[in-house]
Structure 1
């Protein structure tokens, strides 16, 4: 701490000046012995006391945040423990809503893997890659269970990181005769089509991309609906991955209310998903209930899987990556 200059205008609540010094700082008359700055009894070169630093930080924080406002960026902490996988992790994820196209992803993350026996840190992993891969994997599980029997057309709305990870796993696991993509910025959709291994049709509108599609994936930063029920083919399956805030939407009310709604977590969907909260749609089942066989999949109906992501998904994925790395070393 030596050499740190005191905050401008800082005066502590007490000092160690002699009673007769005339300092005038509260506490001086008592000769309390507490450290202080900016008074006659202390050398100018001496660093500020530790309490001065957090106090100054708090003043800066409240000065920067108007009453009733919240900072735009988000920092999320997602801890989880899986006894079955003998894994303990936490993911730190930042979310920034970029107003313009940016080379920096909107979501960035780091996963910390701990030894559950003693709490020691075993590994630090790239959480952005894990998030992209595990989110697409869960969407693929939902699609395997919920999509119509003869799905031929895949539609992706959005061209960011999640679009790439979903395309990779969906074209690996399923056989589609046609893949379409739409993005608000057409140049990004064209770049996507030119980057992936396989033919992709770039569509000029979301409606064009969606019409007749059997499986639809929404991975956008939309805050208002971009997918409407009257565009969707009856019996289609939708993986709704974007709109992860309670006031954001990707799907309209008609689609939400006229589809069978599946979620990864009821609790999360009812507090975090604008598509669920604002539409008032009834949740039919969690995906885990379908996997366990306690709820039917209903692939003959129009289905929506609202994905928000669960910390245990990061835990399982991180442990898998770590074990694979360990086996190779």
Structure 2
């Protein structure tokens, strides 16, 4: 059994590779080649939680689960909000093959799924990106969006100006040589006012993005809120948007961004256009027009974690990374 650390994951799993892996596994999920159960959540004091996310990948013959804790207030303590690991078993023998750091997988694969959605749903000429949030997901989403659209401007907003400025400086060092301008904005409304793509990657439990702020043709990736009572988006945005999700079962049980406007009567059942996997398989269409506002609501899926972990394990074996141990 191989133990693969966060440092190894960062080295072995590139964002470009992960986007392709996520496209494949989401298409497999829609085609019945991947199986997963709705995540099981244990509430922890202070609004925190631990989640168990199992899945089975038929083509790869891998089965396993991610165990992860979500402590949204950890940023104030200098700690990551998401911590955990992915266990990977051989589905033919039941043998445990690997334990892989889950924090870095989560950071990369979440942004990679948003990139896969952006490839299918955002306008081809999308050039202005707004990042709402300043944590680890803000950084990986920035990287991912630049791989799938011709981004020339990045606008950043977060509730703590110092964190937004730190992110701006990091992004400027990384991307200024590519002719990309990066700036912080004083409000979320100003950040998204002219944005073609908006990524909400916050720990917010009440709306921080409003539909009235978005221009025609914008695309939104909303990945921060992951509980039925929490949301990042106001009801008007959800009503206005053509809504796509990573998994229907997850959305109707866990997505406050969908469930709250549904309970309010602002939208009706059937408002979700479909799953991203069905768009990838061309079973359903993406955006309906250049003027439409599109929304991808991602909750994160176990099959995504297993697919990423399987790729990492293969790379670790090929490049002799990680640590082999006997249990």
Please indicate, yes or no, whether the TM-score normalized by the shorter chain is above 0.5. Answer: yes
Partner of 1:272: 254
Question: Which of residues 292, 295, 319 is equivalent to 2:284?
Answer: 295
Matched, 1:233 2:218: no
SS at match of 1:256: helix
Partner of 2:148: 173
Partner of 1:147: 122
Partner of 1:33: none
Higher strand share: 2
Q: CA RMSD in A?
A: 1.5
Contact conserved, 1:262 with 1:304, CA < 8 A, in 2?
yes
Q: Could you say which structure has the greater relative contact order, defined with CA pairs below 8 angstroms and 6 or more residues apart?
A: 2
Contact conserved, 1:264 with 1:286, CA < 8 A, in 2?
yes
Cα offset for 1:206?
Answer: 0.2
Matched, 1:116 2:76: no
- More deviation, 293-302/145-154: 293-302
Q: Gapped runs of 5+ residues in structure 2?
A: 1-42, 176-180, 321-327
1:227-266 superposed matches below 5 A: 227-266=209-248
Partner of 1:328: 319
SS at match of 1:200: strand
Contact conserved, 1:235 with 1:299, CA < 8 A, in 2?
no
Higher helix share: 2
In the superposition, the TM-score normalised over structure 1's length comes to 0.77
Question: Which of residues 112, 115, 118 is equivalent to 1:137?
Answer: 112
Matched, 1:194 2:185: no
Contact conserved, 1:95 with 1:106, CA < 8 A, in 2?
yes
Q: Gapped runs of 5+ residues in structure 1?
A: 1-68
- More deviation, 101-110/204-213: 101-110
Quick one: distance in 1 between partners of 2:148 and 2:276? 19
Quick one: distance in 1 between partners of 2:149 and 2:75? 34
Relative to structure 1, the CA distance from residue 92 to residue 99 in structure 2 (aligned partners, 3 Å threshold; closer, same or farther) is closer
Quick one: distance in 2 between partners of 1:189 and 1:105? 17
Cα offset for 1:100?
Answer: 6.7
Cα offset for 1:173?
Answer: 3.2
Question: After superposition, what is the alpha-carbon deviation per residue over 1:65-101, rounded to whole angstroms, capped at 9, x for unaligned?
Answer: xxxx973331111111101122222100001131771
Contact conserved, 1:147 with 1:299, CA < 8 A, in 2?
no
Contact conserved, 1:145 with 1:299, CA < 8 A, in 2?
no
Matched, 1:306 2:305: no
- More deviation, 195-204/95-104: 95-104
Contact conserved, 1:263 with 1:269, CA < 8 A, in 2?
yes
Quick one: distance in 1 between partners of 2:48 and 2:293? 35
Larger Rg belongs to: 1
Cα offset for 1:231?
Answer: 0.5
Relative to structure 1, the CA distance from residue 229 to residue 271 in structure 2 (aligned partners, 3 Å threshold; closer, same or farther) is same
Contact conserved, 1:73 with 1:96, CA < 8 A, in 2?
yes
SS at match of 1:191: helix
- More deviation, 302-311/104-113: 104-113
- More deviation, 296-305/121-130: 296-305
In the superposition, the TM-score normalised over structure 2's length comes to 0.77
Cα offset for 1:233?
Answer: 0.7
